[in-house]
Amino acid sequence: MLDPRPKGAIQTVAGTGLPGTVELTTRRTVTAATWTWPSLGGLRHRRLAAPEIRRRLLHMLPGLLPFVLWFIPHPDPWGPILADVVLLLTVAIVGPALIRFSAFARPGERDGRSSVLGYALPILAALCLFRGREELGMMTLAILAFGDGSATLGGMLIGGRRLPWNYEKSWTGLACFLVVGGTMATLVFWGESRPAVTWTQAALVAGGATLIAAIAESVRSRINDNLRVGVISLVVGAVLQALVIS
């Protein structure tokens, strides 16, 4: 048992001996133990810099829009008022993001057009090209916001073993993309679909789109990640919707 008294304190131990009581004194030094938390499977915990935190917020917060729409009655296809509101929201986000890109740019990034426009254009294209099937646009938004967004967070904060085909990406990031992105995309597709679809149908469409998008995001390419993920999510989702539901 460790002595609770300060280091170097005198401990008095009473003992009995020939007539009378003899006091024996001993000096005990107490040393503090230092605990080092073991790494989990070699994973390293990191901290995000302020620009990256702002970047993650800007990337993931738009994904809340489909859930807000659950509480706002709206027709299918969307009416002009809702379409205009979404367009204005997009402009309100994209404009300042391009102007203030330096506030959340990564080292070496000078131009935010590929990242910002690569995020917005696939979603706007989905809403324009697939009238009456707005669930595809909202699903694409969810995959971009939560799938791609969580993959970056997982890779940066946790790290882990690198993918054999791309050492800039990790298995942790890929797993985060699939689990978080697939779950949120399924919820969004199910909630926005009219007529209603089953959970199984939503999971097949959104889960399949998330899987192909996650693989595409993990491959080395000169094309911006946002644009690749958005376009592939939309195309694969449209094909799977035609096969599974139509």
Q: What is the rounded CA–CA span in Å between residue 7 and residue 180?
A: 51
- Reduce the DSSP state of residue 169 to 3 states and report it: strand
DSSP 105: P
pLDDT tens column, 108-138: 888 889 999 999 999 999 999 999 999 999 9
**Contact assessment for residue 214 and residue 147, using Cβ atoms and an 8 Å cutoff:** yes
- What are residue 38's phi and psi, to 5 degrees? -70, 150
pLDDT of res. 46: 65
Other residues' Cβ atoms within 10 Å of the Cβ of residue 130: 18
Taking alpha carbons only, the member of 148, 174, 150 closest to residue 161 is 174
pLDDT tens digits, residue range 156-202? 899 899 999 999 999 999 999 999 999 999 999 999 999 999 999 99
Q: How far is CA 147 from CA 61, 152, 210, 229, in A?
A: 12, 9, 8, 9
Burial of 115 per CB tally in 10 Å (0-12, 13-18, 19+)? buried
pTM (2 d.p.):
0.80
Strands 166-170, 162-163: pairing is antiparallel
Is 90:121 a contact under the CB 8 Å cutoff? no
d(CA 228, CA 26): 73
pLDDT at 20: 46
